[in-house]
Amino acid sequence: MADLTPLQSADAVKIVGSDSSGVEQTPVQSTASGALKVDGSAVTQPVSVTKTTLTGASPATATATTTSSIIISANANRKGLIITNLTNTRVYLSFGTNAAIVNRGIMLANSGSFVMDEYSFSTEAIRAIVSVGTTTLSIQEFV
């Protein structure tokens, strides 16, 4: 993760990023007038972001037990995912080949949901576990 260091002068704040080795990255500068500069050049065009329309796969359910197991298979086409706990039992989630562990990872309480976003996105398999009994999860995957 990059470190961001603000350097202030009378007319601007310069944000300098560096990677884990300490190598300085392209500086971004915000002037007192609100103008934005990247590496000394004024940014005059807005950045446009195009969001892709998602298609919902068939809604599904899965059962979590006291043994870590895959509740959603890996899917290279996955664009989003929502998991909702339908019971009173806490559920714990993990990603990839890592076993789900009680009291670790992502916890879903009663009616709690996990919404996969750009910061938690993964196409890996998702595993679940509960400490006692079983619980039902509602799943909506987007492709």
- Name the residue among 122, 68, 65 with its Cα closest to residue 99: 68
pLDDT at 8 over 50: no
pTM: 0.65
pLDDT per residue over 78-97, tens digit each? 999 999 999 999 999 999 99
Residue with tokens 């990023």: 17
Indicate the DSSP class of residue 54: P
Find, among 81, 76, 74, the residue nearest to 54 by Cα.
81
The structure tokens listed for 39 are 């590496």
Residue 111: both structure tokens together: 């009616």
What does the pLDDT look like over 114-134, one tens digit per residue?
999 888 999 999 999 999 999
Q: Residue 31: what pLDDT?
A: 60
Residue 7: its pLDDT value, please?
47
Pick the more confident residue, 25 or 79.
79
Closest CA to 28 of 49, 47, 7, 44: 7
Q: Is 32 left (phi over 0), alpha (psi -120 to 50) or beta?
A: alpha
pLDDT in tens, 32-82: 566 666 666 666 666 676 777 888 999 999 999 999 999 999 999 999 999
